Amino acid sequence: MSGTSYVTAMSHFYRGEIGRIMAWRARLDNTTNWAITTTSTIFTVAFSLREVPHIIFLFDVAIVSIMLWIESRRYRFYDAFRARVRMLEAHFLVPIVMQSDLHQSDWRKLLSEDLMIPCFKISAFEAVGRRLKRNYVFIFIITLLAWVTKIFLHTRQPINGWHSFYAALAVGDSIPSWLVASFFFSTFASVLGITVWFAMKSSSEFTDLGPRPLWKI
């Protein structure tokens, strides 16, 4: 293939990959919007009606968790196609802009293999961690804080200490306090633990500290 034909074909390929990642990016926004809308609706119902038990926030946590899992699956597809775009930008566009050959690897072979046999670039757990760190940690924290607020506002007995608060966690005679407390604190610890771990260990595409010379594209 001649130089002009090659550049034209690669330009169309790059534009097509940009369109593909934009479509997957829109799908990520959809699931986040669903999680926020569901949380807002449950908040309205919980605080508008005193008779609604505080356990309704458990369903909110469950629904948001499902949205997080769906979004993490979509993010893996988005990240896989974004990797192609970044490879084209780094190894095809940069040499054109710099007017020099800056090939750092056999990127054409890697890109061809990925086109023939597509694969994910990150694990499902890392995808969950990235989406949790980016958006969902705030939804979970606000939900858990609203859960505690609901208990204080609409409890049948006044809360004046840890023992009365622990007793208020129970929902009638069917759901004991220890079960609600276990779910609440395990969710809170898991969300914060995963978020902090990925904030410290996982690198993202952008940085505030300047270019990373050892960043693998």
> What are the pLDDT digits (tens) for 85-141?
888 888 888 777 777 766 566 788 888 888 898 888 888 998 999 899 888 999 999
Say what the pLDDT of residue 136 is.
Answer: 93
- pLDDT at residue number 198: 82
Whether 10 and 88 have beta carbons less than 8 Å apart is answered as yes
Domain assignment of residue 217, yes or no: no
Structural domain containing residue 192: 3-201
Please answer whether residues 123 and 79 qualify as being in contact, where contact means their C-beta atoms are separated by less than 8 angstroms: no
pLDDT number for residue 159: 75
Is 208 a domain residue?
no
Q: Which two tokens stand for residue 50?
A: 């005193």
Q: Is residue 82 part of a domain?
A: yes
Q: Residue 2: which pLDDT band, with cuts at 50, 70 and 90?
A: low
Q: For residue 211, is it within any domain?
A: no
pLDDT at 216 exceeding the cut of 80 = no
Question: How far is 92 from 79, CA to CA, in rounded Å?
Answer: 19
Q: What is the CA radius of gyration of the chain?
A: 24
Distance CA 54, CA 52 (A): 7
Confirm whether 18 is domain-assigned: yes
Q: 12-16, 28-32, 100-104: which has the minimum mean pLDDT?
A: 100-104
Measure Cα distances from 34 to 10, 124, 136, 151, 187 in Å: 37, 21, 12, 25, 20
Structural domains counted in the chain: 1
Residue type, 2: S
The pLDDT, as a whole number, for residue 35 is: 93
Residue 147 lies in a domain: yes
Which H or E run contains 161?
none
- pLDDT above 70 covers a percentage of the chain that reads 89
| CA 32 to chain CA centroid, nearest Å | 9
Q: What is the mean pLDDT of residues 155-160?
A: 74
Q: Is the pLDDT of residue 204 over 70?
A: no
Q: Minimal CA–CA distance to 54: which of 137, 142, 141, 144?
A: 144
pLDDT band, very low/low/confident/very high, at 42 (cuts 50, 70, 90): very high
Percentage above 90 pLDDT, the chain:
25
Give φ, ψ of 171 to 5 degrees.
-115, 95
Tokens read off for 166: 């622990």
Single out the residue of 111, 115, 78 nearest to residue 92, CA to CA. Answer: 111
> Does a structural domain hold residue 127?
yes
Return the pLDDT at 139.
Answer: 93
pLDDT band at 145, cuts 50/70/90? very high
Residue 99 falls within a domain, yes or no?
yes
CA neighbor of 201 nearest in space, from 136, 92, 122: 122
Query: For 148-171, what is the mean pLDDT?
Result: 79
Tens-digit pLDDT profile for residues 172-195: 778 888 888 888 889 889 999 988
Q: Is the pLDDT of residue 53 over 80?
A: yes
CB atoms within 10 A of CB 50: 10
> SS3 for 175?
strand
